[in-house]
């Protein structure tokens, strides 16, 4: 089975702190995604990566950056956390190729910024 893991299930940070959220997948997938999920808004794409060192902005990239130095690992970085970044963050991966593919999701990290 595909396994996508995230570094923390729950995280509490203070305004202005630098925050790292890490995601690791074990199925050699090319594509990796970071989403945030908020009540009434559903999942929104922050960034995605289709290869090592390659990244593309999603719908809401402001205030976030990403890093993909190895194929299996995709990191989301909040350079200076703000209270409006309190949310559930979900990572996903999928193989490359074809017109569409299933995405495999991690368990999520619930981030609270105080």
- Looking at beta carbons only, is 4 or 17 nearer to other proteins? 4
SS3 (DSSP) at 83:
helix
Q: In this complex, which beta carbon is closest to other proteins, that of residue 15 or of residue 101? A: 101
Q: Taking CB under 8 A as the rule, does residue 41 contact other proteins?
A: yes
Alpha-carbon distance 84 to 99, whole Å?
A: 35
Which among 25, 9, 50, 8 is positioned nearest to 105, based on CA atoms? 25
47 scored as a contact of other proteins (CB under 8 A): no
* Of the candidate residues 43, 61, 71, 72, the single one contacting other proteins (CB under 8 A): 43
Does residue 111 contact residue 60 with C-beta atoms inside 8 Å? no
Q: Does 31 participate in binding other proteins (rule CB under 8 A)? A: yes
Among 11-19, 67-75, 77-85, 104-112, which window interacts with other proteins (CB under 8 A)? 104-112
Q: Backbone phi, then psi, for 104, in 5-degree steps?
A: -110, 125
Would you count residue 103 as binding other proteins (CB under 8 A)?
yes
Q: Dihedral, CA atoms, 44, 7, 18, 15, nearest 10 degrees? A: 70
Q: Is 62 in the site for other proteins (CB under 8 A)?
A: no
100 touches other proteins by CB under 8 A: yes
At its nearest, how many Å lie between other proteins and the CB of residue 9?
A: 8
Beta bridge partners of 10: 110
């Amino acid at each position: 089975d595909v396994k996508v893991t995230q570094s923390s299930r729950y995280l509490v940070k203070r305004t202005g702190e630098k925050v790292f959220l890490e995601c690791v997948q074990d199925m050699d997938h090319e594509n990796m995604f970071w989403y945030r999920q908020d009540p009434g808004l559903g999942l929104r794409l922050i960034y995605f990566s289709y290869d090592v060192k390659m990244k593309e902005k999603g719908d809401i990239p402001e205030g976030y950056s990403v890093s993909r130095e190895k194929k299996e690992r995709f990191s989301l970085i909040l350079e200076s956390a703000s209270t409006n970044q309190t949310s559930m963050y979900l990572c996903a991966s999928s193989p490359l190729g074809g017109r569409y593919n299933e995405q495999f999701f991690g368990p999520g990290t619930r981030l609270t910024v105080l």
